Structure 1
Amino acid sequence: MKVMMVVEGGDCALRIEPTDEEGLALLAAFGVSGAYQAKLGDAAGSTMLATEWICSSYEGAPAELD
């Protein structure tokens, strides 16, 4: 399987391309014949990195180590 996230301008899309019979069968199980592509939405959302977002959600919480 070849899985790609395509970002162009302000648009973002997901594309999945099967590269063998197993990939074709897997997509067929979900009712997809050939490649699958879907628009995910605007890419012009938050400029905050995912790690910054996750860390900020835990800000102020005490860290516990085992």
Structure 2
Amino acid sequence: PPPPGLQTPPGPPNAYDENPVVPPIGLQAPQVPIPPPPPAPGVATGPVAPTPAAAATGAGS
């Protein structure tokens, strides 16, 4: 049984025990960052090439 003070109920081991039989999901596979989805057309996200409308206003000069 778990030492006094822990809230782990008696029973088969699970992911919340001190020594889980199955490693946590985060440790089973490498943490590969998920690439952000492509921005919708017409939506400027971050540094992007100036749109024709922005270039017409003389932006950057």
TM-score (norm 1): 0.23
Q: Larger helix proportion, structure 1 or 2?
A: 1
Bigger Rg, structure 1 or 2? 2
Between the two structures, name the one with larger relative contact order (CA 8 Å, sep ≥ 6).
Answer: 1
TM-score (norm 2): 0.24
